[in-house]
Amino acid sequence: MVNFESDTLLTTNKGEILNLIILGRRDELLNTFQRYMKARISNSSSIATEEHNLRSSLFVLFLEVEIPLSRRLISQDRQEILINLREFVYSIDVVKPSDLIDSYNVINKFLDDINLTKIDTKKRFDSRLVEDENTEKGL
């Protein structure tokens, strides 16, 4: 949670604060996915409760990224993905587990596209070819 009384808050970029909040919500969603799948695999009586927790976590993460996600999808002429995601996230109907995963994947791909969750950032080149290495490093 963000401490708004802290002096260091004033020197922190608001974008970085929002990034940390979104990453925290994503982490919470992944942990909830883990509990949900554990309940489903073990055929536990808590499946419904975990599904409700999962859908509410997905809903909150979607609210955090809805505007930038919609800008990106609309600019790429993929409005139907946004419409379907919006309908699913705002719905209170019974859902299939695959729809939960598909919805998460749309959001996660967006977070990767904006380099928030990208972990494979190292460029690949043959270091034996000096000119290729210089080009990759911007020299």
* Number of H-type helices and E-type strands within the chain: 5, 0
Q: What is the pLDDT of residues 72-81, one digit of tens each?
A: 998 888 899 9
Domain ranges of the chain: 7-118
Assessment of whether the complete model's pTM goes beyond 0.85: no
Average pLDDT rounded to a whole number, residues 111-138: 75
Longest CA–CA separation in the chain, Å: 61
Region of poorest pLDDT, from 22-36, 70-84, 118-132: 118-132
Angle between the N-to-C axes of helices 79-90 and 47-75, in degrees from 0 to 180, rounded to the nearest 10 = 150
Q: What is the pLDDT of residues 32-70, one digit of tens each?
A: 999 999 999 999 899 999 999 999 999 999 999 999 999
